[in-house]
Amino acid sequence: MKINNFLELKDFQKIIIENEKIELNDSLLDRVEESFQFLKEFSKNKVIYGVNTGFGPMAQFKISDEDTHQLQYNLIRSHSSGIGNPLPAREVKACMLARLNTLSLGNSGVHQSVIHLLKELINRDITPLIFEHGGVGASGDLVQLAHLALVLIGEGEVFYKGERKATKEVFETEGLEPITVEIREGLALMNGTSVMSGIGIVNAYKANQLTDISIRLSCAINEIVQAYDDHLSEALNGTKKHIGQQKVAERMRAHLADSKLIRKREDHLYTHFEEQEKVFKEKVQEYYSLRCVPQILGPVLDTLEYTENVLENEINSANDNPIINVKDRHVYHGGNFHGDYISLEMDKLKIVVTKLTMLAERQLNYLLNAKINEILPPFVNLGKLGFNFGMQGVQFTATSTTAESQMLSNSMYVHSIPNNNDNQDIVSMGTNAAVICRKVIENAFEVLAIEAITIIQAVEYLGFQDKVSSSTKELYDEIRKIIPAFSDDMVMYPYLEEVKKYLKTM
């Protein structure tokens, strides 16, 4: 893929998920070179933050010409201070692509070597060691991006072919040369929102998967109980103007189009009233977790689509400071590195994913509780009641995991703590928000895996394999390849992990 100007999230997917290689357009490189040459000339005899001044609260100190390059190295090394778990490779790769893209806009005054080396790291799957903890998301992802910059100057560590190795060793193996700081490469690399954005892009991709899975599982449960189709109808959902709700209902209708189990109300309940019994044997309408899926998942879909729009805007924006404007022949000082946009979206995304998880947990409970579904044995137990346990044990896991996500859904966006000698007196905590959102997403996959196995066991018990929709039958067949129909109790955790992996490939 040739990178030139605007990157869409689907481009990130091709590069990050599908490992498509990237090339740099000549006009991109010309733009970067023009910005670099302009800053080099413009900064002579002028006070430019981060070029010939100290940083943050020490910006009042002038740096002599002979120390300006060393200043950048000092910044990178001193701020390579992260700790905790390393970020997953996909997230780091997304971070690098986001950083490459924003630096390529020509608003940062970096040397072309930065862009070239970032491209090589992405194409060769060399991922810098970047830790979860360190950034407050105000001067962007300062600490985490310092670890990226550290690798670009040939120091620090990387993950290479499944191993954690010294950058110097890997560069020698691959024949790569570290960058040489020219003007402000350290600050330009570190001031920005690329880590929180990179994590956010991967989060959004996974949240899309979760939404699709939740819709499919919700359809399957409606089949199991032979629900009426009017709560999915275009007529009903069209009376509410929310696009997400209408899209979810449309997807459900598509999944259930060839089901032999979904019923029409007019065929069963819209008959002559005097012929009906005083107490109806069949439910007139289903529990909310079955009947209100468009209304519950609709806000999830709407939120996700808005989050994707914000992410796309952010990765195609100059999120640096100062901003180099070649057209105006001027350098503007400000705060484009502040991460509030991403922080808020990650909070919103984790909230709706938690709600999706709560829906799955309630649907699971419906299937496991024979007193409310009235069609399945307790805990969908295909063995001997009292002697075997069915899905009883895994419900505890689903419940506790859902509870953790509910707790994690508290906002990071409003948890600003001043730091940096109060220079950064209000911060975004955007990277923390993105990391916690990722945890909530992982939890959702675990709960949906448990729900999926339970649904397949229920289909087995009812003998509905040939009556469910082709969509549900595909789900049934794929999960049965992982876990056979079981009546005897068995150790469940290996199956849970394998089904979770399968869901991530859907």
Per DSSP, the three-state class of 62 is strand
Can you say whether the dihedral through the CA atoms of 145, 151, 78, 324 is positive or negative? negative
Cβ pair 424, 140 in contact under 8 A: no
What would you report as the CA-atom Rg of the chain, rounded to the nearest whole angstrom?
A: 27
Please report which residue ranges of 53-88 form alpha helices under DSSP H: 68-79
Query: Active site includes 502?
Result: no
Can you say whether the dihedral through the CA atoms of 180, 183, 187, 192 is positive or negative? negative
Question: Is residue 85 within a helix (H) or strand (E), and if so which, with residue range?
Answer: strand 83-86
Cβ pair 321, 49 in contact under 8 A: yes
DSSP state of 88: P
Cβ pair 283, 70 in contact under 8 A: no
Q: Which of 49, 287, 306, 502 is catalytic?
A: 49
Give the type of residue at 271.
T
Q: Which residues contact 442 (CB under 8 A, 6 or more apart)?
A: none
Exposure string of 281-315, with b = 16+ CB inside 10 Å and e = fewer, is eebeebbebbbbbbbbbbbbbbbbeebbebbbebb
Tokens describing residue 217 = 């599982």
Q: Which residues contact 236 (CB under 8 A, 6 or more apart)?
A: 230, 249
DSSP state of 323: E
Question: Is residue 263 within a helix (H) or strand (E), and if so which, with residue range?
Answer: none
Q: Rounded to the nearest 5°, which phi and psi values hold at 127? A: -110, 120
Cβ pair 114, 404 in contact under 8 A: no
Exposure string of 246-267, with b = 16+ CB inside 10 Å and e = fewer, is bbbbebbbebbeebebbbeeee
Cβ pair 215, 296 in contact under 8 A: no
Which of 140, 72, 75, 137 has its CA nearest to residue 111? 72
Cβ pair 349, 303 in contact under 8 A: yes
Q: How far is CA 490 from the centre of its chain?
A: 33
Q: Which residue has the tokens 């808020």?
A: 344
What is the rounded CA–CA span in Å between residue 204 and residue 307? 8
Per DSSP, the three-state class of 159 is strand
Residues serving a catalytic function are 49
